Amino acid sequence: MFEVREVLRLWLLGYGLRKIAAMVRSDRKTVTRMVEVAKGLGLAAGDSIEGLSDAFVGEVMSVMRPPRPDRHGGSWALLVVHRAKIEAWVEAGDVPARKMVELLTRQGIVVPERTLNRFLAAEFAAPVPSTVRLVDGEPGVELQVDFGELGRMVDEETGKRRRVWALVFTASLSRHTFVWLSFNQNMTTVIDGFEAAWEFFGGVFAVVIPDNMATVVTKADALDPVLNQGFVEYAQARGFVIDPARVRSPKDKARVERAVQFVQTSFWAGEDFGCLVEAQTAAEVWCRSRAGLRVHRSTQTQPAVVFAELEAPALIAAPAERYELPIYRTAKVHRDHHIEVAKSLYSVPGDLIGCQVEVTATSKLVKIFSKGSLVKCHPRQKPGARVTDPADLPSELTDYAMRDIASQQRQGFARGDHVGAFVEAVLEGPLPWTRMRHIYKLFRACDRYGNDRVDQACERAVDAQCANVNIVIGMIERALETEAVDDQPVPDNVITGRFARDAGHFAAGKGQARP
């Protein structure tokens, strides 16, 4: 409107049409048409400028640009008539807009390519989704978390340049932010970052909205995501709820998305930190000062001040001790009734041999689960050690596996007093477990011939100070265990040799002399 008013004003002041076109930077034909329309509406040279009211100027514009109910011209109307043909080309997917213009021209339908592009965008393009601003929620409830790449830094441990990641925590209400730096995104790093965040904020938020990082979400889903067991147990220990954002939906955590960009540009850009520890120290100072005390663009408040006033009192109490991250493993139960976890062996009930079990190991306990049920719990062992529960082993092999000498002695006396005495005689001496197989052979003989016969044979063997199992079994096989023992005395009519020497003649002890 102001251009039309300016052209008419200059014409009333006496300027020529060519001069007016140069002054308003418009085409002379357009200027001429404006003046002719104004003359037709009653404007004459020499009239007062006061006559250029908004109503008059609007009347001039309406004559120059006839109203269009649909805001489109004749070319658009032609495209509407041939919409079905254009739709078929669009569904084919291999006809570009320029080719469509050519095909329409062959049929006598001449339209500008620009108009066709606007028509395609309006009629066939996917609608642009609208968005709304979410409310900030209650104080101390929501904490949004996301990873962002900052740059590269030399790792002092390896001497190589590695990518530096920032785990950014942003309170939804106050926008107060904490940054945790690391060289990776594993579970240990994430847990350490959360522990540092609780210490920084002075408490735990009720709801955490993380990105779909693998350490938190095992399988992403908008309605029913599968969460990482380790992080779920951490959330249970700290008392917060996990509400992960949807995949490729940055609007679900828009506050931390913007905070990640702010960390990249305001904290990291242009800096040269010597090591990760130095950078982390600088990040915490930056969070309290630069990020915390600035006036936030959206809230027009200082995040640290709002957090201290509203959110800090509403947080869950901060943990008193650091969280110990367990070891999560899936192990196979081997034929020896044991599983291996962190280079240590732990026994498992025998009915699980060949099955896969889930293991959760802390510095004190090792818990073994099968199909969600706890089947065994052992104290944690150092690498190379082993812990075995005798109840997990077959009863017939428990004594041998555990080298339980006392159990074999008890079983021997249960089969007979003389069998027990014989077992004690066999196992007497150093390294008794090396002779345990002899006892098993004796017990098998008891099962085969009966405890009474073996007990009688053992009685004769013990009296004869014999500890050989094969001799006992030989006696039973030849039915000699009940044969009477000949205890007749040596006859006294034995003739002694004339030249037999006295026994003292052969004495060779110290201090004794030969006769």
> How far, rounded to the nearest angstrom, does the alpha carbon of residue 348 sit from its chain's CA centroid?
27
Whether residue 491 is predicted with pLDDT greater than 80 in this model: the reply is: no
Question: Would you state the structure tokens that stand for residue 98, as one six-digit string?
Answer: 């320029």
**Which of 379 and 94 is assigned the larger pLDDT?**
379
381 φ/ψ angles, rounded to the nearest 5 degrees: -110, 155
Enumerate the domain spans of the chain. 2-64, 74-123, 142-317, 327-393, 405-515
CATH of domain 142-317: 3.30.420.10
What's the pLDDT band for 26 if we cut at 50, 70, 90? confident
Give which of 256, 255, 242, 235 is closest to 207, Cα–Cα: 242
The 3-state DSSP composition of the chain as helix, strand, coil percent (nearest 5) reads 45, 15, 40
Contact between residue 164 and residue 151 where contact means Cβ atoms under 8 Å apart: yes
Contact between residue 222 and residue 246 where contact means Cβ atoms under 8 Å apart: yes
Q: What is the pTM of this model?
A: 0.59
How far, in Å, CA of 499 to CA of 369, rounded? 86
* pLDDT tens by residue, 446-488: 988 888 888 888 988 888 888 888 888 888 888 776 665 555 5
Supply the Cα-derived Rg of the chain in whole angstroms: 49
Contact between residue 205 and residue 171 where contact means Cβ atoms under 8 Å apart: yes
Mean pLDDT of the chain: 87
Contact between residue 41 and residue 69 where contact means Cβ atoms under 8 Å apart: no
Cβ neighbours for 35, distance < 8 A, ≥ 6 positions apart: 7, 8, 11, 17
Q: Which of 125-134, 141-150, 289-298 has the lowest mean pLDDT?
A: 125-134
Sign for the CA dihedral angle at 37, 40, 46, 47 comes to negative
Strand partners, 227: 217
